[in-house]
Homo-oligomer: A and B are copies of this chain.
Amino acid sequence: MSTQVIVLNGGSSSGKSGISRCLQAILPQPWINLGVDDLVQRLPPALLSSDTGLTLGSRGQVAPGPDFQRLEAAWTAGIAAMARAGARVVIDDVFLEGTVSQERLRARLGDLDVLWVGVRCAPETAAARELARGDRTPGMAASQAESVHRGVAYDVEVDTTRAESLDCARAIASRVR
């Protein structure tokens, strides 16, 4: 068996995108990188200011409504089908409900060979990087930094507080079969 999906779970501004790009650069096979941010960008803008879609609170709290949840379920079913059809996929995700989110994703990925990766970053460091990026709602980083890991089980954990994306990617790549 070989790894079919790599799931990177971490809060906003924890460094998932940088790690994904490094993984794409160092892994010998081509991997597609997809994340919940890609889904959000491809939705009707009106859904992002509707209670039934996805709303952002003034302190960065994310509130997914029923329409968003239905679309996200279908989106994930699609990514699982891509992987079954032979595409290797790195999924960037944010487990807003911790272990509940993981179990839901695990069920959707079914029989696929998944490497579960925790991407940690100290809350104050993630908040500082959120400010330096300048394109995210302030508060998301701090509010998600620890809560997304609650009760989640990983094959590998990396911490970007002191390690570069490339070093984290190398640690992850060594576990890819």
* Neighbouring B residues of A134 by C-beta, 8 Å: 21, 45
The reply to whether A165 and B39 contact each other, CB–CB distance below 8 Å, is no
Verify if A73 is at the interface (C-beta below 8 Å from B).
yes
Contacting B at CB under 8 A, from A30-74, are 30-34, 38-39, 42-47, 53, 67, 70-71, 73-74
Which of B18, B38, B132 is within 8 Å of A22, CB to CB?
A: B132
A158 to B68, alpha carbons, bound, how many Å? 31
Instruction: Give bound CA distance, A37 to B134, whole Å.
Output: 17
Please give the residue numbers on chain A whose beta carbons come within 8 Å of chain B beta carbons, in ascending order: 17-19, 21-22, 24-25, 30-34, 38-39, 42-47, 53, 67, 70-71, 73-75, 77-87, 125, 128-129, 131-134, 164-167
Apart from A18-B133, A24-B43, what 5 extra A-B contacts exist at CB < 8 Å?
Answer: A32-B43, A75-B87, A78-B78, A78-B85, A128-B167
